[in-house]
Amino acid sequence: MEKLELKYLQCLAELYPSIAKASTEIINLQSILNLPKATEHFLTDIHGEYEAFSHVLKNGSGAVRRKINEVFGHTLDEREKKSLATLIYYPKEKMEVVKKSRENMEDWYMITLYRLIEVCKRVASKYTRSKVRKALPEDFAYVIEELITEKPDLVDKEAYYDEIVHTIIEIGRAEVFIIALSELIQRLVVDHLHILGDIYDRGPGPQHIMDKLTSYHSLDIQWGNHDILWMGAAVGQRSCIATVIRICARYGNLDILEDGYGINLLPLATFALATYKNDPCECFKIKGTDVYNPAETELNMKMHKAISIIQFKLEGQLLTRHKEYKMSDRRLLDKIDYEAGTMELDGKTYALIDKNFPTIDPKKPFELTEEETAIMERLVTAFTDCEKLQQHMMLLLNKGGLYKTFNGNLLYHGCVPLNDDGSLMTVEIYGKKYKGKALYDVLDTYVRKAFFALNPVEREKGKDILWYIWSGPGSPLFGKSKMATLERYFLKEPETHKEVKNAYYGMLENDTVVNSILQEFGLDPEHGHIINGHVPVHHMSGESPVKCSGKLLVIDGGFSKAYQKETGIAGYTLIFNSFGLILAAHEPFTSAENAIAQETDIVSDSILVKRVAKRMVVGDTDNGKALKERIDELKQLLDAYRSGLIKEK
């Protein structure tokens, strides 16, 4: 035996110090391998829509309903099943409604508790006892375990359970118990959550989404370009800060910064009011203005313009620093003729809709004024010192990455940049060339350098690359030729607004390309899938999220309210359970209140994308592979005990 191997076994012997202990562990692990594969849940492009996100987490994209159907089949009618589902999603609120319409709550508690216990048994049956135990709420751990565990040798089972349930009702604990059971079902119905990016921007509640994710039992995150933008802002990258504020202003969400993260925007507000005093800032209208009164709207529009100009200046400076990004065509403020009010773009001259640029010196268009500099300095401190924001970013870093391979599938937000012929596109990052997986990997390391590198040069490179990942043409998260922000504000010609998508998006049905991407990431194209977010699927015009005969799934259906006009629905989510892949289409979510009152469940349609021939078990998963390796090691440890190489303790 190699020296290292022996050392490793000795370490293992610390954990399993006897033949008996090692054997027990082998038996335990072996039994886990034969349990059904746990359920994975995939969500993407949540874009700050906290309520819709929270609802989809509660209903497990239809998984709770499926369990109810499995348990109650034809013994409950549709209406009763719907009510039970709503109760599981919103136990507290639903009980308030029930109480108003019923005289005798005792009966209701009794029936409801029995029903919930049955569902609980079902959802717990996929897991080991020890895993279920860890998920149990502290106060009720013992009693729930009693109720959901089969007791074959008990003579009068019913009387035993009745007694427990009666006591719960009698001592006035029925409601809290119902809440505990409902939450347990929500918790057990999904074992692992994948978020494929774009938690931030456009919607009002990304900070609440991040809070919820912080306490979620098991998850990973693939960063979206908008999340990367916020990460850039959090490390003090100034173009990212300006863009974050601009997008918040554009969608009427400055509250996220001020109230959600406690970032003081007063300096910017004061500056904007003074600088654009007599400017109506028409090009800087707020999307969904109903949240503001007229005075607020006016202030918001001025702030929107002020920060946009700062953003365009800072981007110009950044692209002068980084010629290697090959984005000098995005330095636009020097393409403007400030006297004539026109702009040169691709050899054509366009008239600007807004010609008022009081803060721009045409000779030095990218230079910030003294006031702008001071504002940015304060903002950098506000972002980098914000504890809550930093905590949220740590969650993104610890649970997240640019991509993930999981149980044979490849998960990423945007794309793998390709050339027109489908080959991998080479992108130069700080003097070296990368493509495919290597490109993803090098960018991932630079993201982490932005937060953790001690070397200031590397740290700065990391910070600036965050901006590149947000909007660079070679960025796998963006995957478009340019971000035409300035053109959309200042030019009316639609051709100037066009952002050309990377060749990848034209090849989603190309088997050879999709297979080669899976192989590039070390996955088996026979069984693997690519799960993709970022690009809204236009449900209304008949577009399907299922590409390449189900090998590639684009599940961005637009949680984002701003995009529902285009997509026609509120998005797709995906479930991967022991039977296969199920895609759920969602109807727009109006409000939690509505969901309770109408008992509506926004899952409108479930499409079985793939049904596995044989029900998958833990042994077929990545975790199963790791468990099998562990079993092998433990068997070697047993040999070592038995051959006298290692002594039992």
Give the nearer residue to ligand FBP in terms of CB position, either 43 or 483: 483
The residue with its CB nearest to Mn ion is 534
Query: Among the candidate windows 84-92, 175-183, 194-202, 619-627, which touches Mn ion by CB under 5 A?
Result: 194-202
Q: Any contact of residue 224 with Mn ion (CB under 5 A)?
A: yes
The whole-angstrom distance between residue 156's C-alpha and the CA centroid of its chain comes to 48
DSSP 455-483: SHHHHHHHHHHHHHHHH-TT-TTT-BS--
Give the nearer residue to ligand FBP in terms of CB position, either 192 or 480: 480
Query: Among the candidate windows 191-199, 229-237, 484-492, 606-614, which touches Mn ion by CB under 5 A?
Result: 191-199
Q: How far is the CB of 646 from ligand FBP (least distance, A)?
A: 55
What letters, b where the CB count within 10 A reaches 16 and e where it falls short, cover 417-431? bbeeebebbebebee
Is residue 471 a contact partner of residue 225, using CB atoms and an 8 Å limit?
yes
Stretch 512-551: interaction string toward Mn ion, x if CB under 5 A: ----------------------x-----------------
Q: How far is the CB of 222 from ligand FBP (least distance, A)?
A: 13
Q: How far is the CB of 539 from ligand FBP (least distance, A)?
A: 17
Give the nearer residue to ligand FBP in terms of CB position, either 499 or 633: 499
C-alpha pair distances (Å), 475 with each of 242, 245, 444, 531, 572: 20, 22, 11, 18, 24
Q: How far is the CB of 186 from ligand FBP (least distance, A)?
A: 28
Residues 6+ apart with CB under 8 A from 391: 214
Q: Angle 613-616-621 (CA atoms, 0-180°, nearest 5)?
A: 130
Q: Any contact of residue 206 with Mn ion (CB under 5 A)?
A: no
* Paired sense of beta strands 427-429 and 40-43, if any: unpaired
Query: Among the candidate windows 24-32, 220-228, 256-264, 345-353, which touches Mn ion by CB under 5 A?
Result: 220-228
Q: Any contact of residue 198 with Mn ion (CB under 5 A)?
A: yes
Q: Any contact of residue 192 with Mn ion (CB under 5 A)?
A: no
83 binds, among ligand FBP, Mn ion, none (CB under 5 to 8 A by kind): none
Give the nearer residue to ligand FBP in terms of CB position, either 393 or 483: 483
DSSP 432-446: EEE-HHHHHHHHHHH
250 binds, among ligand FBP, Mn ion, none (CB under 5 to 8 A by kind): ligand FBP
Q: How far is the CB of 488 from ligand FBP (least distance, A)?
A: 6
Q: What gap in Å lies between CA 597 and CA 582, rounded to an integer? A: 28
Q: How far is the CB of 116 from ligand FBP (least distance, A)?
A: 39
Give the nearer residue to ligand FBP in terms of CB position, either 480 or 539: 480
Give the nearer residue to ligand FBP in terms of CB position, either 86 or 225: 225
Q: How far is the CB of 483 from ligand FBP (least distance, A)?
A: 4
Q: Whole-angstrom distance between the N-terminal and C-terminal Cα of the chain?
A: 21
The H or E element containing residue 581 is strand 580-586
Residues in touch with ligand FBP (CB under 6 A)? 198, 225-226, 250, 480, 483-485, 499, 534
Q: How far is the CB of 224 from Mn ion (least distance, A)?
A: 5
Is residue 325 a contact partner of residue 315, using CB atoms and an 8 Å limit?
no
Q: How far is the CB of 337 from ligand FBP (least distance, A)?
A: 25
What letters, b where the CB count within 10 A reaches 16 and e where it falls short, cover 257-276? beebbebebebbbebbeebb
Place of tokens 């959550």: 193
Residues 6+ apart with CB under 8 A from 283: 305, 353, 354, 489, 490
83, 222, 225, 485: which one contacts Mn ion (CB under 5 A)?
Answer: 225
Binding-site ranges for Mn ion (CB under 5 A):
198, 224-225, 534
